[in-house]
Structure 1
C-alpha cells in the first residue's frame, strides 16, 4: 500500500522536524520543502494528500504559493493548512482562506488540534482514493460488457 504524502513547507529545518515529530503517529510519508518554489515543484510531481505550510518565507510566501497551486489542475484540490507565529490576526487568517487554504493555525501549535485536522484530511484523502478505485472497477466492468 502506498502511504499518503504530507508536504511540509518551512524555510527553517527545525520547524519541519518539529511538525514531523508532532505527526509521527500517522502512517504517512513526509516530504520537506524549504521554500514555496520547491514545494510547487514537489506538488506537481507527487500525489500529495495534504500541505502544511508556513506563511512567512523568503522569495515566495505561503499565500503566494497556495494561490499558484489553486490555478493548476494537478494541485488545486490539495488541502493546505497554514501555520504562522507572526501572522495571528484575523486579517491573515481570512487572507489564508481566500488564497485557497482550508485552515490557519497559529504558533505555538496545540498538538491535539493539528492532529485532529490532519486526521480528517487523511481520512478524506483515503475515501477519495477508495472511490477512485471503485469507479475504475466499474468502468472496467462496463467496458467488459
Structure 2
C-alpha cells in the first residue's frame, strides 16, 4: 500500500514572481470568511484572503519550523496537496525592511489625519488600508 503524504506544497505567488515555495504540514490563512487551517488531504477549496500573516509549519526532521509571510489580500486555493496563494504583494519575515515599513506606517497615519481634516472619506479608507499593510509587515517581521 502506498505511503500517505503527510505534507503539502505551499506556494505564494505575486506579480513579481514566486515569493515562497516549500513543503508544509499545516497552513493557517486569514480569509475573508474567518481563519482557515489547512492540512494535507484537505478538500479542494478557494477563498479570499485578508491583509494578514500566513503561517506555514514546515517539516524539518523532528523539529517543525514555522515560516511567516505578510500577505496583502489575494486568494488561497487548495487542490490535491497543493496550496497556492496568489497576492498583489507578499513578503517573508526575513525579507521585510523594517525601517521602510515603519516609514510607511508613519506616512499612512499622517495621510489619515490629513484626509479626516479635509473630510475625504475615500482618502481615509485608502490610507487605512496602507496603514493595515504596514502594520501587518511590522507584525510579521517580529517573528524573525
When normalised by structure 1's length, the TM-score is 0.28
Larger radius of gyration: 2
Which structure has more strand as a fraction of its residues?
A: 2
